[in-house]
Amino acid sequence: MIKTLKRVFSYAKPYFIFFVLTIIFAAAGITLSLAVPVFIGEAVDCCVNKNSVDFESLKKVLVKLVSVVVTSGLFQWIMSLCTNKLAFFTVRDLRADAFAKLERVPLRYIDSRTKGELSSRVINDIEIVSDGLLQGFTQFFSGVMTIIGTLVFMMSINVKIAVVVVILTPLSFIAASKITKASHDSYVQQSKLRGDMVGFAEEMAGNQKIVKAFVYDKRAEEKFFKINNQYGKIGAKATFLSSISNPTTRFVNGIIYASVGLLGSLSVIGASSFIGTMSVGKLSSFLAYSNQYTKPFNEISGVFAELQNAVASAQRVFDLLDEEEIQDDSDKEKLENCNGTLSFENISFSYNPERELIKNFSLDVESGKKIAIVGPTGCGKSTIINLLLRFYDIDSGKIVVSGKDTKNITMDSLRNNFGMVLQETWVFTGTVAENIAYGLPDASREQIISAAKAVHAHGFIKRLPNGYDTVISEDSGLSQGQKQLICIARIMLMNPPMLILDEATSSIDLRTEQRIQRAFTKLMQGKTSFIIAHRLSTIKNSDTILVMKDGNIIEQGNHNDLMKKNGFYAQLYNSQFVS
Amino acid sequence: MKNLLKYLKNYRKELFLGPLFKLLEAIFELIVPLVMAEIIDKGIGNNDKKYILLMSGLIVLLGVCGLGFALTCQYFASKCAYGFGTELREALYKHINKLSYESIDKMGTSSLVNRLTNDSNTVQNGVNMFIRLATRCPFLVIGSTVMAVMIDAKLALIFFVVAPLIAGIIFFIMNKTVPMYKNTQKKLDRAALLTRENLEGTRVIRAFSRQQEEIDEFNNAVNDIAESSVAVGKISAILNPFSFMIMNLGIVAVLYFGGVRIDTGNLTQGELTAFVNYMTQILLALIVLANLIVIFTKAFASAKRINEIFELQPEKNSEFAGDNNSENIIEFKNVSFRYSGAGDNSLKNISFTLKKGQTLGIIGGTGSGKSTLASLIPCFYPANEGEILIDGINVNNYDKDYLRKKISIVPQKAVLFSGSLRENMKWRDENASDEDIIFALKTAQAWEFVEKMPDGLDTFISQGGKNLSGGQKQRISIARAMVGNPDILILDDSTSALDYATDLKLRKALKTDMSGTTVIMISQRTTSLKDADKIIVMEDGEAVGTGTNDELLENCEIYREIYNSQMNAKEENK
């Protein structure tokens, strides 16, 4: 926990000056604000009885009071400004680092986690760190300062009464910690139930149409009512338990207040020589202190609860930051003037060492050839994409592109020579033109339009509300097919010597499908292409077919060879004609 | 808000007693400074030790009572708030389940979920805070002022200047910062969007070697957040120090004029101390009040959103629930349909009949109205014109639950629910036996992989079926619809993730295993529909051709076009 805290604060290092200023101004502001009751007490002492008010001294005291109040307010304001800068800038840096990390970790890391979880680390967890750790730190610090300051001031007025207050202090602590403990358990239960409820609502109400179609509503209601009732009961309990803390500390405060009142009054009238003597004014400032004394305890215990949360969140962020990165390869050779030849030399690969996938696979691909990858649903066809673009590295063997081992050239230059269109289209929030020019940000509008025209996307883009300047996003209403055409235009613009294409199987209407097919054909002219194929025409016309099953390449050859072999491919192929 | 008040009716007692006890606590709290003033004036003034002891004891007693009252109030508050919240959610969920498809479209499911969970919680919290604080804060402000007036009306005038001034500052700063906070939140949302998009597109980004540009863009976004956070922080940081200053300057005024009043004999020293005390209390109460206003504003906004759901009319229902044994299981008579709010009809003048056990194919491009047609059969939407008869009875006259139990639908997107595979398979028929389930899984070509799973039917399916592949989900979704022998089975383009071989096996199994079931199959591919007893070709909401494969090839140009374009690929191969 300490290690995590230290690390968070190491992120605050560039803003050390704000850190120092926060402490200085907090200390100064709090000390001054604590001096206020002293002056109030002195002022009260100036007004004892009728016709004997000492206006001379009263005025002097009040001038002091005003200046203390104004400076203290000013200092507190400056302190807040410094804390804000400290917290917000630190968080900004932490976020930027976390995001940059996501760009540098191997894909294996990203693939093995849900996207929601990872993005929640970058966004939510860091927000919790900001609230809990950085802002919490200031609260904690000023709380402690207030307690110490109050005690010092009380001591300076009357040591013995102050000691009584100190003796009563643990009451506050004990009460606060007992309550926190009691409410913590039911809070954990409550938040779990709330999670259940939200999860249930997301599933059921989120798929309300299916629930209705299956007449599942009564059963869903039963389940919901059960969770809802439990949540109501536990929630009421948790809320009640946690709401006890305020009245309880108020009560403890009341006891301290009464004790101070009692002992103070006794000392004013000199009833007990042991307590010593003091004035009514001193008593009233003492009372003011005891009134605000327990408040920081409440705040500190709140900060601690949040702190635990924040440390857990920070730990999650640091776990991400500590992930192994892909090694920087900028010192390696760049792949230039790629001739489009490619060969797999005896490669082996598996995602999981316990389950062998590809073993001793070899294949030579001449420039401009078409390689089709076929196989039943879920057979791991995308593994080939992962290996070619080095999203994952092979365990043994070599992949040689244009005569060079891909391990010895930079990843960026390797990937620049491939154009990739995935079945799961990816457009980002931005204009159509920006989306097309993704691989070539400096492309002119003419280039963008001609790329779009080449893949038959110009027609529908022109009809969008703002043409090429229409802002689109993943869910902006473009059809799957239209998004795919934009992705193809992207590759067209880059014009790389090698291609990896994933043909769409999902519900795209016939005309768009034909358009995409034409776009693919146009794109493939003269290029070495790997196609994850679903269409007979693509498969048949390819130079080599890789047949995959359960993650393995089980057959390879051209269409005629494979048909002659009468193996899995032939079986797969024939099934399409029988109906 | 008014419409939601009825869910409070079981908690009238708590709603009344809670604030009452809170009020008592506040009164006791206000008395404490008075007692202390008495101690100072009488006890110290008369050197009366006994009196001091007695009065100190009274303060403790007041504290004990205060604690008791406060706890009673908190108890009532949490009981009432959560009781209210539970009943509200129950009613809301019941209402959601009664909504028609049209209303669901209008509201959007994510909005339904949000209102059911987040908004109901916000209102619940509002009720809780109302009981706990709504009486206390105004009472403390007013009470402190009244007490001050009772002690010395003239000196109390200072209160009437300071309290509005502090209230004004709180209001001003909140007014200024709330939109700024919203703006900051928007920027945070943008950063979240960038992160999500980035993760979705990792492969593309890396393939294009654009990591650095993505990092730069994100850095800009977080810089934006930091800047606008600092800007709003600047203003909101004024609030506490400034109200602290004003309150203390008020105390300075009280002390000075108090001194004058003591000098003239209109005020005692003890009373002056009490005055100072009340001043502090007002500030604290006002700050809490400001937070309370924020909570209430949110609660009201949420209540309004919840009410919007209650205002949606439930789906119309009828009572017919029986078998008519009509020859035609489905009959469309000149049916036209338009989505509410849409300018044009999505279905125009559709007529056809289908006999029991027959297979109907529907083909056409995206947006041609295939799915719309299918969704009229279980009366998810009522037709605007014409008549739809199921088993000879107009769908509008059916008990909707009964009608929908006759019909089973496999949606385009396979959605599975968290729970065991067996639970998912029992959606249509909760009494289905394992044999029934396995039979359906076999027909849907899903048994081959379910069988291999170590837990079989007990395999846990995570939310949305994330632990299954697309093809597996689709097959389970098909199997789920087959359980319980539906009269009509609608497959809405739901074999897209299956390869040709599996698709073919599925169609064959469907024919043998479910011979009594009328099947409606929507597809983009002529091969899938070739053997259907009847095929409807849809284009722009109209049935441009109806007949068997051979008939359509003969006399429907559009069908021929589709057929040839798909057969071309095969011809090339022959």
Residue A578 pLDDT grade (very low, low, confident, very high; cuts 50, 70, 90): very low
Q: Is the pLDDT of residue A577 over 50?
A: no
CB-nearest to A66 from B226, B249, B417 is: B249
The dihedral through the CA atoms of A77, A80, A86, A92 has a sign that is: negative
Q: State the pTM of this model.
A: 0.75
**Interval A40-65: pLDDT, tens:** 888 888 888 888 888 889 999 999 99
Rg (CA), chain A: 36
Q: Is A272 contained in some domain?
A: yes
| B contacts of A104 (beta carbons < 8 Å) | 211
Q: Is the pLDDT of residue A123 over 90?
A: no
Residue B574 pLDDT grade (very low, low, confident, very high; cuts 50, 70, 90): very low
CB-nearest to A99 from B195, B229, B497 is: B195
* Residue A336: per-residue pLDDT: 85
Distance between B352 CA and the closest CA of chain A, angstroms: 23
Distance between B516 CA and the closest CA of chain A, angstroms: 20
Instruction: Tell me if B66 and A209 make a contact (CB, 8 A cut-off).
Output: no
Q: Is the pLDDT of residue B306 over 90?
A: yes
Taking the CA of residue A195 as centre, how many other CA atoms within 13 Å lie in the half-sphere pointing to its CB?
A: 7
**Among A155-164, A352-361, B437-446, B456-465, which range has the highest average pLDDT?**
B437-446
**Interval A266-297: pLDDT, tens:** 888 876 666 677 788 888 888 888 877 777 87
- Find out whether A428 and B220 touch, Cβ atoms under 8 Å: no
Identity of the residue numbered B172: F
- Residue to test with chain B: of A81, A224, A382, A547, most B Cβ within 10 A: A224
B66 touches chain A (CB under 8 A): yes
* CA-wise closest residue to B360 among B533, B562, B514: B533
Please, what is the average pLDDT of chain B?
A: 88
Counting the structural domains of chain A, the total is 1
- Show the tokens assigned to B512: 């043998």
Instruction: Tell me if B94 and A221 make a contact (CB, 8 A cut-off).
Output: yes
Least confident of A497-506, B153-162, B375-384: A497-506
Q: Is the pLDDT of residue B387 over 80?
A: yes
Taking the CA of residue A217 as centre, how many other CA atoms within 13 Å lie in the half-sphere pointing to its CB?
A: 20
Nearest C-alpha in B relative to A237: B78
| A contacts of B499 (beta carbons < 8 Å) | 376-377, 534, 572
Across residues A343-367, what is the average pLDDT? 85
| A contacts of B223 (beta carbons < 8 Å) | 92
Locus of tokens 């403390």: B140
Residues 281-340 of B with CB under 8 A from A: none
Residue ranges, CATH 3.40.50.300, chain B: 328-572
- Show the tokens assigned to B18: 């809670």
CA gap B442, B476 in Å, rounded: 10
* Residue A361: per-residue pLDDT: 85
Burial B310-323 (b: 16+ CB within 10 A, else e): eebeebeebeeeee
Instruction: Tell me if A420 and B204 make a contact (CB, 8 A cut-off).
Output: yes
Beta strands of A142-276 (E only): which ranges?
none
What's the gap between Cα B288 and its chain centre? 29
Q: Is A571 contained in some domain?
A: no
Q: Is the pLDDT of residue B99 over 70?
A: yes
B132 touches chain A (CB under 8 A): yes
CB-nearest to B39 from A231, A265, A391 is: A265
Instruction: Tell me if B417 and A203 make a contact (CB, 8 A cut-off).
Output: yes
Locus of tokens 């209109």: B266
Please measure the distance between the N-terminal and C-terminal CA atoms of chain A and give it in whole angstroms. Answer: 66
Q: Is the pLDDT of residue B158 over 70?
A: yes
* CA-wise closest residue to B226 among B200, B256, B198, B191: B191
A222 touches chain B (CB under 8 A): no
CB-nearest to B230 from A85, A224, A251 is: A85
Q: Where are the alpha helices (DSSP H) in B130-268?
A: 136-151, 157-200, 202-207, 211-263
Q: Is the pLDDT of residue A176 over 90?
A: no
Residue A505 pLDDT grade (very low, low, confident, very high; cuts 50, 70, 90): low
Instruction: Tell me if B132 and A243 make a contact (CB, 8 A cut-off).
Output: yes
Determine the topology of domain B328-572 in CATH: Rossmann fold (3.40.50)
CA gap A544, A371 in Å, rounded: 5
Least confident of A13-22, A389-398, B499-508: B499-508
Beta-bridge partners for A345: A398
* Residue B217: per-residue pLDDT: 92
Least confident of A135-144, B155-164, B177-186, B190-199: A135-144
Across residues A358-377, what is the average pLDDT? 85
Beta-bridge partners for A545: A372, A557
* Residue B349: per-residue pLDDT: 93
* CA-wise closest residue to B131 among B26, B289, B28, B17: B17
Identity of the residue numbered B72: T
- Show the tokens assigned to A23: 């402490």
The dihedral through the CA atoms of A475, A478, A483, A489 has a sign that is: negative
- Find out whether A48 and B269 touch, Cβ atoms under 8 Å: yes
The dihedral through the CA atoms of B58, B60, B63, B68 has a sign that is: negative
Q: Is A511 contained in some domain?
A: no
SS3 B45: coil
Number of residue pairs across A and B with CB atoms under 8 Å? 435
* CA-wise closest residue to A26 among A87, A70, A80: A80
* Residue A72: per-residue pLDDT: 93
- 3-state SS of A185-201 is HHHHHHHHHHHHHHHHH
**Interval B273-303: pLDDT, tens:** 888 888 888 877 887 887 788 788 888 889 9
Instruction: Tell me if A51 and B63 make a contact (CB, 8 A cut-off).
Output: no
- The conformation of residue A214, written as its DSSP 8-state character, comes to T
Q: Is A65 contained in some domain?
A: yes
Instruction: Tell me if B70 and A250 make a contact (CB, 8 A cut-off).
Output: yes
Determine the topology of domain B2-310 in CATH: ABC transporter transmembrane region fold (1.20.1560)
- The conformation of residue A355, written as its DSSP 8-state character, comes to B
Q: Is A164 contained in some domain?
A: yes
Across residues A78-88, what is the average pLDDT? 90
Residues 71-130 of A with CB under 8 A from B: 72-74, 76-77, 80-81, 84-85, 88-89, 91-92, 95-96, 99-100, 102-104, 107, 110, 114-115, 118-119, 122-123, 127
Instruction: Tell me if B78 and A206 make a contact (CB, 8 A cut-off).
Output: no
- The conformation of residue B75, written as its DSSP 8-state character, comes to H
CA gap B519, B410 in Å, rounded: 11
Across residues B381-392, what is the average pLDDT? 93
CA gap B31, A172 in Å, rounded: 23
* Residue A310: per-residue pLDDT: 84
* Residue B20: per-residue pLDDT: 92
SS3 A364: strand
* Residue B89: per-residue pLDDT: 95
Instruction: Tell me if A577 and B75 make a contact (CB, 8 A cut-off).
Output: no
Decide: residue A331, CB within 10 A, 0-12 exposed, 13-18 middle, 19+ buried: exposed
Taking the CA of residue A145 as centre, how many other CA atoms within 13 Å lie in the half-sphere pointing to its CB?
A: 20
- Find out whether B346 and B352 touch, Cβ atoms under 8 Å: no
* Residue A495: per-residue pLDDT: 86
Residue A518 pLDDT grade (very low, low, confident, very high; cuts 50, 70, 90): confident
* Residue B571: per-residue pLDDT: 44
* Residue B202: per-residue pLDDT: 84
CA gap B524, B367 in Å, rounded: 12
* Residue A4: per-residue pLDDT: 86
* CA-wise closest residue to B8 among B127, B108, B141: B127
Least confident of A145-154, A533-542, B354-363, B517-526: A533-542
Structural domain for A150, as ranges:
2-321
Q: How far, in Å, are A256, A296, A555 from residue A172 at the CA level? A: 10, 10, 76
Assign residue A102 the CATH number of its domain: 1.20.1560.10
Instruction: Tell me if B258 and A47 make a contact (CB, 8 A cut-off).
Output: yes
Q: Is the pLDDT of residue B114 over 90?
A: no
* Residue A17: per-residue pLDDT: 93
ipTM, two decimals:
0.82
- The conformation of residue A327, written as its DSSP 8-state character, comes to P
Locus of tokens 């595979």: B421
What's the gap between Cα B338 and its chain centre? 28
**Interval B140-151: pLDDT, tens:** 888 888 888 988
Please, what is the average pLDDT of chain A?
A: 85
Q: Is A501 contained in some domain?
A: no
Q: Is the pLDDT of residue A70 over 60?
A: yes
What count of other Cβ atoms lies within 10 Å of the Cβ of residue A444?
Answer: 10
A330 touches chain B (CB under 8 A): no
* Residue A576: per-residue pLDDT: 58
- The conformation of residue B81, written as its DSSP 8-state character, comes to H
B234 touches chain A (CB under 8 A): yes
* Residue A509: per-residue pLDDT: 65
A521 touches chain B (CB under 8 A): no
Residues 40-69 of A with CB under 8 A from B: 40, 43-44, 46-53, 55, 58-59, 62, 65-66, 69
- Find out whether A343 and A400 touch, Cβ atoms under 8 Å: yes
**Interval B447-501: pLDDT, tens:** 988 998 888 899 998 877 777 877 888 899 999 999 988 999 999 888 777 777 7
Across residues B80-96, what is the average pLDDT? 94
Beta-bridge partners for B355: B328
Q: Is the pLDDT of residue A181 over 80?
A: no
| B contacts of A426 (beta carbons < 8 Å) | 200-201, 203-204
Residue A579 pLDDT grade (very low, low, confident, very high; cuts 50, 70, 90): very low
Beta-bridge partners for A342: A365, A401
Q: Between helices A16-46 and B211-263, what is the axis angle to 10°?
A: 10
> Which residues, other chains included, contact A89 with Cβ-Cβ below 8 Å and sequence gap of 6+?
A14, A15, A18, B226
Residue A378 pLDDT grade (very low, low, confident, very high; cuts 50, 70, 90): low
- Find out whether B523 and B363 touch, Cβ atoms under 8 Å: yes
